[in-house]
A and B are shown apart, each in its own frame.
Chain A
Amino acid sequence: MRLARLAATCLALSAALPSRAERPRVVVDAPDFHPLPVAVAPFLAEGDAHAAAEATEVVRADLARSGLFEVLDPKGFLADPGEGLAPASIKFSRWADVGAEGLVKARVRKGAEGFSADLRLLEVRAGRELLARTLPAADARGLGHRIADEVVRHYTGERGIFRTRIAAIRKTRDGRELVVFDADGQNARVLLSEKALLLMPSWRPDGEELLVTSYRGGGPELWRYRFSDRSFRKVPTGRGAMGGSWSPDGSRIAFTAIEGNDTDVWTCNPDGTGQRRLTTSPALDLSPSWSPDGKRLAFVSDRAGTPQLYVMNADGSEQRRLTFQGSYNQTPQWSPRGDLIAFTARDERRVFDLFAVALDGGRVQRLTQDQGRTNEEPSWAPNGRMVAFTSDRGGLPQLVVSDPRGERQTVLTSGGELMTPAWGPLPAE
């Protein structure tokens, strides 16, 4: 009995004593996300100093353009330019002094067949190696893109997009040409040069073909360009067709069919068979874009009086309106992440700008503003972390890439007049 009372007293006492649970506690949330400061040390060269310098510049430009990194100005570097790759030989304090958190180093070697690089990624504060790889590439630019892809993959766990391509249509004096750029706007290759109109390329998901709208036959029709043999063949739909878009699994094509003054969204097999009409309204229905899972389509319709974005299932069921702001919304492009649809809209000042609407909740975000009179035709990078579009901010429309919030934009090209860009898929690994 007494023992029990003693125990009870002890319990009461211990409860009265300040315990760890009494420590005041606060929550800090909503961090500010900022680009990670990285230093890209001038790459060491074995044989070809020029290639090493070029690869260094490519890596710096790629990382900065991605919006994920703050690439530090090499002019401020304090380290010895000949510093080696091994952590033991690196004076990390000198890199910390310039504000670097990550450090990219490489030794570029020229071999009998192309180049290779020993890449080292280091954590400056801890003074340790994060990544060591030997990467091959055919040329110095390709090597730079490979290194940048590896760095992005290390930090984000996702594949980088620096070795992808962007297709676009370029105006020529007497027609149009189909051009493919590297993802940094360099290395333009003309695939086709036509006297007739060419429009709206779309990549087959494996990157082997491009679907293009061509007026070669007099009216708008879908044509397929194949890279392997440079062939250009019509998709026999038997009707006026434009703006073809390959489904994510490559099995279907969605397009806008034109009949008189009406347009509707249809799908068919890549050979033109198995056609199916998805919209039937007498209003204009056009510009289909697949969801990443291939189960839904975004499109434009003016059935409510003004062009607005709509979504529907891939069989045409459950059509619902997505945008309620603005009076001229067009060219929807579904993000590969699935959460956003980027589009072009004309605002109340009658300028065209880029926007993105969230599938969940329909909130509209603006990407461009007061940057030329026309920013249009968005196309997502395959990782959904960047979007390409054309902008006339510097004169004739050029290719621009941006992060999905429009905070970091880079003009990639500086010649000709470009339109309807299409960002290609990731290369096979």
Chain B
Amino acid sequence: MSGLADSAMLRRDRLWPAVVASMAVHLVLGLLALAGHGPAIDLGQQPITARLVRLGEPRPRELLPRKEEPPPAETGPEAAPAVAPPAPAAPAAMPGPATKAVASTKAPPKPAQERTGATSGTRRLGNVLAGMKQELAAGSPDGDPLGDSNEAVGDQYQAQVVRALKQNYRLPSTLSEKERLYLQGTIVLFIEPDGRVLRHEFVKRSGNSTFDEALERAVRDTRLPPPPAGAREAYRRRGLQVDFKI
């Protein structure tokens, strides 16, 4: 018993140098903090919002597939069958909901403008956010989830252009499968610093007027984002070559 007390006493005696050293270190750290050399905390930084999404149970492989969306409501019946008298048995007007939907997708709703939070953020942060905003505007809801964020700025711009053009790259279903095998065309776009395409030029036509017209329409209907600062002159004078394929 007394041996234990002795050893404790002994240890308490020996603790003094350690306590003194600790106090000295704290003092130094406190002084440093007061002098303003602490780690910088950017108070203007925007919070990163993450949202959890329920993915649901994967459908067992042995079951038959399900459609994501059931087919649209069908049209018809056109008129009573049987021996049709030559009365004005006008078949029901056909433009159904499906075709209407196609027509109305022309102008995809723009995502809501995000607050830039430019009040106290650094200029760099503002630039990054502006870039993100631009990407949002050009992106599509069915964009590639594996999109690579490590693309260089130039590649990123080209990816934005491709995405924007794809939204307007629509071809008529009347093109036969045979034609779909070989149809392609190449257009050079001369892009103004604000993203407008004032001039474009066919490098290669497909020879199929329906297809070539659809390409012209895609180019005409697409509003491109402004090119990155360093490449404006090149895109305006030399242009961007776009190969349209099926």
Contact = CB atoms under 8 A, between A and B. Distances in A.
B63 A414 contact: no
A187 interface: yes
Contacts of B92: 61
A364 B64 contact: yes
Interface in A129-176: 140-141, 152, 155-158
Contact of A71 (B62, B95, B188, B241): B95
Nearest to A19: B238
Contact of B84 (A101, A126, A187): A187
A274 interface: no
A365 B65 contact: yes
Interface string A403-417: 000111111111100
Contacts of A25: 240-243
Contacts of A414: 77, 80-81
B83 A411 contact: no
B70 A53 contact: no
A156 B176 contact: yes
A64 B245 contact: no
Given A34-B102, A73-B95, A188-B82, A412 B241 contact: no
Contact of A186 (B66, B81, B179, B214): B81
Contact of B243 (A27, A186, A325, A398): A27
B51 interface: no
- Determine the main DSSP class of B at the interface with A: loop
B245 A123 contact: no
Given A33-B170, A410-B74, A26 B81 contact: no
Nearest to A73: B95
Interface stretch (A191-199, A206-214, A367-375): A367-375
A156 B188 contact: no
Given A24-B158, A25-B241, A415-B81, A32 B170 contact: yes
A33 B75 CA distance: 21
Contacts of B166: 28, 30-31
Contact of A31 (B103, B169, B209, B239): B169
B63 A60 contact: no
Contacts of A29: 244-246
B138 interface: no
A64 B66 CA distance: 26
A74 B209 CA distance: 26
Nearest to A187: B84
Counting chain A CB atoms within 10 Å of each CB, which of B61, B154, B173, B175 scores highest?
A: B173
A71 B91 CA distance: 13
B182 to A, nearest CB: 13
B170 to A, nearest CB: 5
B88 interface: yes
A308 to B, nearest CB: 11
Counting chain A CB atoms within 10 Å of each CB, which of B98, B99, B188, B245 scores highest?
A: B99
A70 interface: yes
B91 A58 contact: yes
A23 B203 CA distance: 12
Nearest to B167: A32
B162 A61 contact: no
A35 B94 CA distance: 13
A312 to B, nearest CB: 23
Nearest to A326: B64
A364 B65 CA distance: 7
A187 B83 contact: yes
Contact of B174 (A69, A393, A400): A69
Nearest to A367: B71
A33 B62 contact: no
B90 interface: yes
A54 B162 CA distance: 46
B74 A35 contact: no
B176 A23 contact: no
A424 interface: no
A21 to B, nearest CB: 10
Contact of A34 (B80, B171, B238): B171
Contacts of A32: 169-171
A411 B77 contact: yes
Contacts of A120: none
Q: Which 9 pairs, one residue from A and one from B, show the smallest C-beta to C-beta distance? A: A64-B94, A36-B172, A155-B174, A414-B77, A409-B74, A61-B91, A70-B99, A326-B64, A411-B76
Interface of A: 18, 22-37, 50, 53-54, 57-58, 60-61, 63-65, 67-74, 99, 101, 123, 125-126, 140-141, 152, 155-158, 181, 184-188, 324-327, 345, 347-348, 353, 355, 364-371, 393-394, 398, 400, 402, 406-415
29 contacts: A22-B238, A23-B188, A23-B241, A28-B162, A28-B242, A28-B245, A30-B246, A33-B175, A35-B172, A36-B173, A53-B90, A57-B91, A64-B95, A70-B95, A70-B102, A152-B174, A157-B178, A158-B176, A186-B81, A186-B84, A326-B62, A365-B65, A369-B70, A371-B70, A394-B77, A406-B67, A413-B77, A414-B77, A414-B80
